[in-house]
Structure 1
Amino acid sequence: MTRSSPLTSLQAFIQEAGYQAGDRLPPERDLALQLGIARTALRRQLSQMEDQGTLVRQVGRGTFIAARGLDAETPATPHMATTYPGEVLETRLILEPQIARLAAQRASASDIAALREAVDQGRRAATIEVFEKWDSAFHRVLVQAARNGLLASLYQSIDAVRAGKIWGRLKEASLTPESMQRYVQGHAAILDAIVDRDAPRAEREMRTHIVEATDNLLGKGW
């Protein structure tokens, strides 16, 4: 295997090993040894591939191949090529309030710590790119905290669409420092409900959050 860069060798390792969507990668220590790179370098590249939507990292479980796979232009499902932001937001409004409700009932201490970190980092984010990283992290950890494998699989498709070019352009056009802080406030309200184990409130706060995101991205009454 040619090791021209850690990212290239990691991509080659995944492809040559035949990993598929949903497969878990080896632990970081083993992966770094197999690639012949330092763990710090590996972590940087894992983070980069996570930002690209190629990998999904779940606290306490490991690193998985995302639904969209290694080819960012390849849809994870037949529907992803033709879906549009309105459909995505409708689906999120159906799923995510229930995910938040389950998370309030099932989140572990490590889940709550990861959610709190995502809120804190999102609040400090100075760029759209950094904000997006922690916004996505918050929602992924929330799905993990719900402890429902089928919901996690469904959300993985949503997450893959959100990483696409059309969605990216829409976010760039609509995100402002003010809207980013409102989103963080929404995350904080959801987190407070989860910490209090208040499932109905977590559901309501998530519904409010998704409605606000819809209004911001598509305009009220779209």
Structure 2
Amino acid sequence: MPEIKSAGKPITEAKKAAILIHGRGASAASILSLSNYLNLSDFALLAPQAEGNTWYPYSFMAPDLQNRTALENSISTLKMAWDQLIDSGITPENIYFIGFSQGACLSLEFAARNAQKLGGVIAFTGGLIGEKINKEKYQGDFKGTSIFIGSSDRDFHVPASRINESAALLTEMGATVKTLLFDDPEHTIREEEINWVNKNILM
């Protein structure tokens, strides 16, 4: 049974919730510390823990077969967190996904496979998963959901071309997408990204 850490407001008392998804080699506890910087004080927070601290073994753009089993297991883990929130009475339009790196890729992937009106999707350095983007995997209508993708314009792990391609597909699926690509090589979450998200999605 995957471990899902909780923080913030108790689910039974909260009207809004966020699922926070850590990066490769990190942990549920480490991604929860992001809540110190984001406007999440009224939120119930859930952070699933990846087995072995990794959601899938290879690059998110590796041949699909290499990541398939681990990726499907990881999507199932996110579905468990999602179901926990829905079962407690929190509506989809009040649920947010927040991830960094592998967690950002997984956030976008899960949301696009189940597109509907969400609170928002915040992807700090990520794109849709696959050797190529396969539109047939994705379904639904985001109905104006705000999606943010921030990254370096030359990130070692996540090419800007994949971010732009992902943003185009998400827009086609009805999302309102904002990308911020920075002129630096850092694989990190920048203050400018935090500020934009707080001002425009987590108001």
Considering Cα pairs closer than 8 Å and 6+ residues apart, tell me whether 1 or 2 has the greater RCO: 1
| TM-score (normalised: structure 2) | 0.28
Q: Choose between structure 1 and 2: higher strand proportion.
A: 2
Q: Choose between structure 1 and 2: higher helix proportion.
A: 1
